Amino acid sequence: MTISVAPMKEAEADRIGRTTEDAGLGALRTDRGNLPLERLDVRTRITGLIGRTVLTTGFVNTYDTALEATYVFPLPDRAAVTGMKMTAGDRTVVADLQERAQARQTYDDAIAAGKRASIVEEERPDVFTMRVGNIPAGERVTVELTMTGPLVFEDGAGTFRFPLVVAPRYVPGQPLPVPSVGDGHAQDTDLVPDASRISPPVLLPGFPNPVRLSIDVDVDAGGLELGEVRSSLHTVVTEGSTVSVRPGEKVDRDFVLRLTYRGNSSAVVCVPDAEGDEGTYQLTVLPPESGTRTRPRDVVLLLDRSGSMGGWKMVAARRAAARIVDTLTNDDTFAVLTFDHEIERAELGDGLVTATDRHRFRAVEHLAKVHARGGTEMFEPLRQGLTLLSDVAQGRDPVLVLVTDGQVGNEDQMLRDISSLINRTRIHAVGIDTAVNAGFLGRLAAVGAGRCELVESEDRLDEAMTHIQRRIGAPVVTDVVVEPGSDLPKPPTAIYPGVPLVAFGRYSGKPAEFNVRGRTRDGSEWHETVAVTEHTAEAVRSQWARAALRDLEDRYATGDSTVEPQIIATSLKYGVLCRFTAFVAVDERVVSDGTVHRVTQPVEQPAGWETPMPVRSFGGAMPAPFAAAPAPFAAAPMMMDGMSPGGAPMARAAARPAMPKMAAPASIPPPPPQDDLGDVVAREVQRLESDVALPAWERRDLLADLASRLGTLFASRKGAEFQPVHDLIAAITAGGDTDELWTRAVRVLREFAGAEKAEPERRRRFWR
């Protein structure tokens, strides 16, 4: 790629300082510090299962001329952004929500007139762009966003997740022959026409980042009984009911807080409108007890092996995929596809094969050899997987499971092109990353009437996989209908074990109760009646509007352009930000001559990423697999427009980096996990002890899965010390009384784990 940059005068170069190669893609280091973002404050109050958050971004101009700062940042994908205000000195301006084109015009006119202004736009359900213009030299400006969002509730625990960094996303397609629409380092393509708006510059490891992060979460159980509160990825301190992140933490991974609740129950809350007889409802229904065996399944497992999955993510993804294979029985059929820019299939034959012990073992062998390498070409494996499941017979459940970090830029294109292939297939997504693309994976699972499980660390993998093992292809109620119903958003059609059904909608009149109907696994009718409780909570209305807008935006993404006016009208009526609207704030005081000097804020490399990965592929295929070698970008193009940091005008260095040369990876065996065999068996004992109260039919399934896992673990292990485990596997396979087998499994495995720990010199490494 040819790069044209206007030469600077020597004095200008001296004022800028040196652009260091280790600064990162798009980062510019000067003697005055980094780019303008100074602090990021998150203040959340959790009441029951609803979180209300104020995000404050603070910008400071250390240069000699007015700046326009651009910041690309994530927000929770289910949060409703309901307000914004801009503060500079003693002046505070409350933003207006306008149609996006009008808001941009308002903002551009203000900047040209020399007025301070700010604008916030949605690029994806979880990616936003903030621009703050005409920040005078030496001045600080803060922008506050207010939002409301539900906590995800599963198995008695609520999860509050607040993303902090937009990870690099793979961008397929041909570059467009027009200037890019944004200031990011990726070039717009035919498949991702806004790639330049979702690709902020990335700091390389070790480069100082002056952004100060503070997160405070105040927890009010809201009448529920609160148990343990724990943070997954950040070190926190607790004072009273407030949980705070320790000072000095980086803005490089999601903040995840889990709260254990007790005493939750089915309920429906109705919030009447201020005028008329209409209103908004939120319905929560607990899942019924699961008392019958799941139907046979036809399962396609897709494992992402692209370069962004390197490090701990690849190890965790392999283990997650192997656990999914372990859930299969001889009644099921399956196929395993691993993909980057190429697709490989486990050597199991064409199409779907029966999940015999032999086939499952071969699948686990294939997964153990997978390494991270290429680009994330996700559409073709999705298409192939859905095609394999297109002719599944009635009485069987077609299931597609995708294990990935979701870091792709062409979400809309994939949702549009696979929608006609889904049919009866349920799509489940397992997202593995410290900064996972939760917005896309949640949309994909919703379109496929499945579940999305997010795994932010190896420490939580076993817990998450227990959830996945229970839910994949096994809803306890299907064909769900809510009465009275609502057109928006589309209501859930299935209820999964341990996961309450949550539905939002609009109603008219004064309903006294809601009825939820469906069909259980054995085909019988299921029905629950829930009495209405009236409330004045504005959060319910905002959450309904956000869910309705997501539903409409997904319909727009799949090709239904007729819904655009409805999206805009809903957003403006209920005051909730969407893709077609924007918040804009203008301070009428003139503070500059209107000359625009633009900078783009670089972001942290996500924690756990080994090296920054190239995020685009021109022509739909990578030239060769990625090599996990030096940083792929040799230099850092300046992301500034019209100025030097010291104030001297300069031409924009609008170049984007060329793709690096690629080399085939060396044949490196997968690193052995750190788990000793005794520890692995001890965890199996813990699972058995925690699941002892489950129904007999479900424990039979768990024992069958246990035998499959143990068979893989102990297949090559001979000797007297292993014989009790081999005998246990044979007994479970032969069948018998569930309680007796369960008790025997606990005893045998506990004794084995204890013997291993008592003789550390004989402990063997897993996979050896």
Q: What is the pLDDT of residues 153-166, one digit of tens each?
A: 887 788 899 999 89
Which token pair is 57?
């971004």
Buried b (16+ CB within 10 A) or exposed e, 718-740: eeeeeebbeebbebbeeeeebee
Closest Cα to residue 571, out of 1, 33, 96, 73? 96
* pLDDT tens profile 346-383: 888 788 999 998 898 889 888 888 888 888 899 999 99
The residue type found at 343 is I
* Cβ(494)–Cβ(474) below 8 Å: no
pLDDT of residue 675: 41
Q: Which residues in 462-613 belong to E strands, given as ranges?
A: 477-483, 494-495, 501-508, 513-520, 525-534, 581-590, 598-600
Terminal-to-terminal C-alpha distance of the chain = 47
Cα 573 from chain centroid (whole Å): 29
Percent of the chain with pLDDT over 90: 25
What is the pLDDT at residue 382? Answer: 94
Q: Where are the beta strands (DSSP E) in 17-90?
A: 24-25, 37-47, 50-60, 67-74, 80-88
Contact 439, 429 (CB under 8 A): no
Total residue length of the chain: 768
Among 525, 542, 564, the domain-final residue is 564
Q: CB of 341 within 8 A of CB of 617?
A: yes
Q: Which residues contact 484 (CB under 8 A, 6 or more apart)?
A: 507, 511, 514
Q: Let me know if residue 99 belongs to a domain.
A: yes
Whether 746 shows a pLDDT value over 70: the answer reads yes
Is 438 in the same domain as 403?
yes
Report d(CA 634, CA 191) in Å as an integer: 27
pLDDT band at 384 (very low <50, low <70, confident <90, very high): very high
Query: Is 569 inside a domain boundary?
Result: no
pLDDT, residue 702, reads: 76
Domain-embedded: residue 654 = no
Can you spell out the DSSP letters for 389-400?
TTTPPTTSEEEE
CA-based nearest residue to 335, from 323, 345, 324, 321: 345
- pLDDT of 653 strictly over 60: no
pLDDT digits (tens, 9 = 90+) for 395-440: 788 999 999 998 888 888 888 888 888 888 889 898 888 888 888 8
664 inside domain: no
- Residue 257 makes CB contacts below 8 A (sequence gap 6+) with 159, 160, 161, 217, 229, 230, 231, 232, 236, 243
Before 665, cis peptide (omega within 30)? no
Nearest Cα neighbor of 325 from 369, 359, 295 is 359
pLDDT in tens, 94-124: 999 999 999 999 999 999 999 999 999 999 8
Cβ partners under 8 Å of residue 682, min gap 6? 749, 750, 753
Which stretch, 23-27, 43-47, 228-232, has highest mean pLDDT? 43-47
Q: How confident is the model over 463-479, as pLDDT tens digits?
A: 777 777 776 666 788 88
Question: DSSP label at 251?
Answer: S
In a 13 Å sphere around the CA of 199, the CA atoms on its Cβ side amount to 32
Give me the pLDDT at residue 573, please: 94
Instruction: Give the total number of structural domains in the chain.
Output: 4
CA distance 585 to 571: 17
Q: Same domain for 510 and 582?
A: no
Mean pLDDT, the chain, integer:
78
Bigger pLDDT: 225 or 9?
A: 225
Q: How confident is the model at residue 546 (pLDDT cuts 50, 70, 90)?
A: very high
User: Do 255 and 269 fall into the same domain?
Assistant: no
Q: What pLDDT score does 605 carry?
A: 82
Does one domain contain both 445 and 339?
yes
Instruction: Supply φ then ψ for residue 474, to 5 degrees.
Output: -135, 60
Q: Are residues 310 and 422 in the same domain?
A: yes
Structure confidence at residue 606 as a pLDDT band (50, 70, 90): confident
Q: Within a domain: residue 656?
A: no
Domain boundary among 477, 495, 526: 477
- pLDDT classification of 763: cutoffs 50, 70, 90: very low
Helix, strand, or coil (residue 642) = coil
Other CB atoms within a 10 A radius of the CB of residue 629 amount to: 12
Are 117 and 249 within one domain?
Answer: yes
Measure the CA–CA gap between 286 and 18, rounded to whole angstroms. Answer: 60
465 and 452 in a common domain: yes
* Residue 247 confidence class, pLDDT cut points 50, 70, 90: confident
Backbone CA torsion sign across 290, 694, 359, 401: positive
Q: Coil, helix or strand for 540?
A: helix
The Cα 633–Cα 605 span in angstroms is: 14
For residue 657, pLDDT over 50 is answered with no
Name the one residue in this structure whose structure tokens are 């918040």.
Answer: 583
Q: List the domain range (segments joined by +) for residue 726.
A: 677-762
Residue 665: inside a domain: no
Q: Is residue 468 part of a domain?
A: yes
% of the chain exceeding 70 in pLDDT: 81
54 with 198, same domain: the answer is: yes
Taking residues 669-682, what's their average pLDDT?
A: 54
What is the C-alpha separation between 315 and 303, in angstroms, rounded?
12
CA 706/CA 698 separation, integer angstroms: 12
Same domain, 101 and 245: yes
CA distance 48 to 34: 40
Contact 527, 515 (CB under 8 A): yes
3-state SS of 371-389? CCCCCCCCHHHHHHHHHHC
| CATH number where 453 lies | 3.40.50.410
351 and 282 assigned to the same domain: no
Question: Is the same domain home to 134 and 86?
Answer: yes
Which one of 441, 459, 477 terminates a domain? 477
More confident: 491 or 215: 215
pLDDT of residue 639: 33
**Do both 239 and 343 map to the same domain?**
no
Residue found by looking up tokens 């920040």 in the block: 135
Q: Tell me whether residue 661 is in a domain.
A: no
Cα torsion through 174, 178, 183, 187, rounded to 10 = 10
Pinpoint the alpha helices (H) of 176-280: none
Residues 512, 491: Cα–Cα separation, whole Å: 20
